[in-house]
């Protein structure tokens, strides 16, 4: 696979992140999970290394690398800690790329270099209490008053919300009392009228920052718009499609981290006079885990490669996200089983990987939604088969 998708530059990036994870992330991963502490010092160092801006064009201060590199980076981070990986993925895919892809040149020059360097973090507000999988059911409104908009409503489960300096979000645009479609805006998070809740208490991803947002008569200038009415929803659907690749990568890394620990433990644990991986019941589990990880990697890198080559990735991104997330859930479960009772205690990290895996089947489109997307795409091919 390395020779199929990777260049020497990709391999150098992976080695860089692996070394960083070994020295800076793994030593604190258990602590930040147990205390729910946001590791700002680690994120800052990742910014210094250029890891927060891998797919961002060089002209805006980014690393200018491809999506294969970006997916590989998220995988490597997730092997060490999923909370840090999702912080980077949400900042890059959701907090930065909407401006890169749809923002005005003025917005790009003003915001993207700061996002790329990590001077500020980005967040993305799409999900609402009544608009999760059905993102088109957005209730937040932005009513036009002259050259300004008055925003009311709220968002939920927003990653990086409490640590971000910049927020992109969607809203129903109201002009002259009429709803004219969903638009998108970008705003600084210290703006009047934006209320950020306390962090959510979560099952997993405990060191990532997840909060609810409330817009209370928030006044923003027309220059804050990054996607016009009717186009905002399309822009963010495109962003979500690409974001599914990073979630698939995060799932692969989570699965790999749990598998590596299970494999190591299986060589150390002796039962009935031999290593437990010599028993077929354990050995076959390990074989299945390794196979699922390789399959998930191929789906993920194939989707990233197609995106880099300007090809449609709606089906491929959904397949990668679906398969990798469900594989991660199965692999982390089996990793606990291989550890036996030790897998259930926090001194062994596999229970953390298990808790971190579940959200991968939910966030950025549930498994059920991914199957609907895939079905819609494959049914388009039916006529050519008849």
Given 361, 364, 368, 383, which residue is catalytic?
364
| 130, two tokens | 């009544």
Query: Any idea what the Cα angle at residue 56 is, between residues 55 and 58, rounded to 5°?
Result: 120
Residue 190, exposed/middle/buried by CB under 10 A (0-12, 13-18, 19+)? exposed
| Residue among 266, 271, 268, 259 at smallest CA distance from 282 | 266
328-364 in b/e form (b: 16+ CB < 10 A) is bbebbbbbbebbeeebeeeebbbbbbbbbbbbbbebb
> By three-state DSSP, how is residue 229 classified?
coil
Count CA within 13 A, CB hemisphere, residue 144.
21
- How far is Cα 19 from Cα 4, in angstroms, rounded to an integer? 23
Find residue 213's DSSP bridge partners: 155, 196
Q: CB-based contacts of 127: which residues, under 8 Å, 6+ apart?
A: 135, 155, 156, 157, 158
**Residue whose token pair is 């409104």:** 141
| 269, two tokens | 């644990």
Q: Could you confirm whether 364 is annotated as catalytic?
A: yes
> By three-state DSSP, how is residue 218 classified?
strand
Residue numbers annotated as active site:
364
């Amino acid at each position: 696979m390395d020779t199929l998708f990777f260049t020497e530059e990709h391999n150098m990036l992976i080695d860089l992140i692996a070394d960083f994870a070994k020295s800076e992330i793994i030593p604190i991963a258990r602590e930040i999970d147990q205390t729910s502490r946001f590791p700002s010092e680690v994120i800052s160092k990742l910014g210094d290394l250029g890891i927060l801006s891998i797919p961002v064009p060089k002209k805006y201060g980014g690393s200018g690398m491809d999506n294969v590199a970006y997916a590989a980076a998220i995988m490597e981070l997730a092997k060490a800690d999923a909370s840090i990986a999702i912080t980077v993925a949400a900042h890059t895919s959701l907090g930065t790329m909407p401006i890169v892809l749809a923002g005005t040149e003025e917005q790009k020059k003003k915001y993207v270099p700061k996002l790329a360097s990590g001077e500020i973090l980005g967040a993305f507000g799409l999900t609402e209490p009544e608009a999760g999988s059905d993102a088109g059911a957005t209730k937040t409104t932005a009513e036009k008053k002259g050259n300004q908009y008055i925003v009311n409503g709220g968002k939920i489960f927003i990653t990086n919300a409490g640590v971000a300096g910049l927020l992109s979000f969607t809203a129903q645009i109201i002009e002259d009392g009429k709803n004219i479609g969903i638009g998108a805006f970008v705003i600084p998070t210290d703006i009047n009228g934006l209320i950020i809740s306390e962090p959510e208490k979560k099952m997993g991803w405990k060191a990532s920052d997840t909060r609810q947002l409330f817009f209370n008569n928030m006044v923003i200038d027309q220059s804050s718009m990054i996607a016009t009415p009717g186009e905002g929803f399309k822009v963010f659907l495109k962003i979500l499609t690409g974001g599914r690749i990073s979630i698939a990568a995060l799932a692969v890394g989570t699965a790999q981290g749990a598998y590596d620990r299970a494999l190591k433990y299986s060589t150390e644990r002796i039962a009935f006079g031999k290593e437990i991986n010599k028993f077929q019941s354990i050995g076959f589990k390990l074989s299945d885990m390794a196979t699922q990880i390789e399959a998930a990697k191929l789906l993920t890198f194939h989707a990233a490669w197609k995106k880099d080559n300007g090809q449609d990735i709606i089906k491929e991104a959904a397949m990668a996200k679906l398969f990798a997330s469900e594989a991660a859930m199965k692999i982390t479960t089996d990793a606990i089983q291989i550890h036996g009772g030790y897998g259930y205690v926090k001194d062994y990290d596999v229970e953390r990987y298990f808790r971190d895996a579940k959200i991968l089947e939910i966030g950025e489109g549930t498994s059920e939604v991914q199957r609907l997307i895939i079905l819609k795409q494959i049914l388009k091919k039916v006529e050519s088969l008849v």
